[in-house]
Amino acid sequence: MLQALTSGAQPVTQISTGYHSLFLKSDGSLWGMGLNANGPLGDGTYNDTNRPEQILVASNVTAIAAGIGHSLFLKSGGSLWAMGANLDGQVGDGTFATHYPYGTNRPEQIVASNVTAIAAGWAHSLFLKNDGSLWAMGGNESGQLGDGTFLTNEPYGTALPAQIVASNVTAIAGGNVHSLFLKSDGSLWGMGYNYQGQLGDGSFMTKAPYGTNRPEQLVASNVMAIAAGSFHSLFLKSDGSLWGVGYNLYGQLGDGTTHNVNLPEQIVASNVTAIAGGGYHSLVLKSDGSLWGMGDNEYGQLGDGTYSNAYTPEMIVPTGVKAIAARVDHSLFLKSDGSLWGMGDNSYGQLGDGTSGNGNYTNRPEQILGPYNQIQTTGQLMGGTNMQLSFVGVANANYALDRSSSLSPANWIPLATNAACSFGALVFTNPPDPATNNFWRIRSVP
């Protein structure tokens, strides 16, 4: 007997990058790929992976943030979890990982509830609670935690979360060794390393400890979004204008020069909706869905088909982009159809395309995960106990099959099936059993 089915696969909804990449699907599952030397993928190993793998948290993840070697995520209810490098206490569990592998390879809960936003720097972490308070832990050698101290002897950080600002904080961003945050009145604040002028306060702090250890106001009002690169800062104003400050040797500020800047300057006048700061490059999303980039392009992280730096913003993708992420030397973006794309350095498999190794990088956007559109399916029994599931998907996408015995919570188990293109058929050897295999889904795969 044939049974008509409608199956909806899970689109990617959030992305974040370090030397590894994280992404979140609409079903609340957390996935990652790339460098895993200190355990930031949270998969119980210290092995790199060049294909997306689901991290040991099955569902209910609501937000993600990737540092250079550690990861943070939130679950529904506002619990904060962390894994990965912890040499400076950036995981926030009260310990310092002073022996190899210098981190934890499984997610551990740090705060039980009420966390609403997270950000990760090189070796420090920031988070907000639902009362608008700002908290921080980890590296603090240049004052990036903003707690009034400089930790200039090992360990160079604090291993437990400390409250920095009591209320009214609405957004946070972490650079390598500086931090930015917004308040509810639209004011922009910063602390930490300021050697290249990234705090935008009119100074270059060229003497140790090279920064400020208390939050200082940088812009009085009308700021609506912030992003921190390694040593530069970007922000959007409420009129859609893009502003930048700090390190600019590679053109990452997009002002047409290579001069460092210690006061904010306008880069784009209007229509900017999202920003991301990489190591020495920047990504910009406009209201028409176009993706733009500027700065360092040694590994192709701008995706413009060259390995030449760009000193003013150049368009990379003309339309259909809805989210961007950048860190170190690679970039990720999401399209409105739910597909995941990447470009740049892939030495550790951080692009998730099945390849890795020194010299492995790409200067054109490549699709990592295909579109996640509705799929019309029909099931048909074959000879014996085999069953064939025929479907119509999206052109140029591949699909696989999962099963689960429950949806509360779901525990999706990949089945051993043949790979299939969008107009193919999946054949599997354990057909639906009402007692154990009640739920089935088709998902797109790399």
**pLDDT tens-place string over residues 193-236:** 999 999 999 999 999 999 999 999 999 999 999 999 999 999 99
Local confidence band at 398 (pLDDT 50, 70, 90 cut-offs): low
DSSP letter at 420? B
Q: Look at residue 285 and tell me whether its pLDDT is greater than 80.
A: yes
- The C-alpha atoms of residue 64 and residue 342 are separated, in whole angstroms, by 18
> Angle 409-412-417 (CA atoms, 0-180°, nearest 5)?
165
Q: Is 50 exceeded by the pLDDT of residue 176?
A: yes
Residue 377 binned pLDDT confidence (cut-offs 50, 70, 90): very low
Q: 168 burial class (0-12, 13-18, 19+ CB within 10 angstroms)?
A: middle
Structure token pair of residue 440: 């089935």
Which backbone phi and psi does 156 adopt, to 5 degrees?
-90, 25
Span 4-19, average pLDDT: 71
DSSP states of 422-436: TT-EEEESS---TTT
| Residue that is written with structure tokens 């209320």 in the block | 167
Percent of the chain at pLDDT > 70 equals 80
Distance CA(317)–CA(288), nearest Å, equals 11
d(CA 19, CA 64): 15
143, pLDDT greater than 80: yes
Residue 89 has pLDDT above 50, yes or no: yes
* Amino acid identity at 31: W
Distance CA(325)–CA(331), nearest Å, equals 6
Distance from C-alpha of 228 to C-alpha of 233, rounded to nearest angstrom: 5
Residue identified by tokens 């250890």 is: 213
Q: Are strands 30-34 and 20-25 parallel, antiparallel or unpaired?
A: antiparallel
Least confident segment among 159-168, 225-234, 392-401: 392-401
Q: What residue type is assigned to position 163 of the chain?
A: Q
> Mean pLDDT, to the nearest integer, of 98-108?
94
CA 362 to chain centre: 19
**4 pLDDT above the threshold of 50:** no
| Residue given tokens 């059993």 in the structure block | 433
Whole-number Cα distances in Å, 281 to 237, 252, 302, 445: 20, 5, 8, 29
Of 173, 168, 170, 166, the closest CA to residue 190 belongs to 173
Q: Output the pLDDT for position 148.
A: 97
Q: Given a cut of 90, is residue 92 above it in pLDDT? A: yes
Cα angle: 26, vertex 53, 8; to 5 degrees: 30
Most confident stretch, 55-59, 304-308, 396-400? 304-308
Structural domains in the chain? 11-368 (2.130.10.30), 374-445 (2.60.40)
pLDDT of 376 above 70: no
Q: How confident is the model at residue 27 (pLDDT cuts 50, 70, 90)?
A: confident
**Per-residue pLDDT at 392:** 57
Q: Is the pLDDT of residue 364 over 80?
A: yes
Pick from 284, 249, 283, 241: nearest CA to 265: 241
| Predicted TM-score of the model (pTM) | 0.84
For the record, the structure tokens of 202 come out as 């009119």
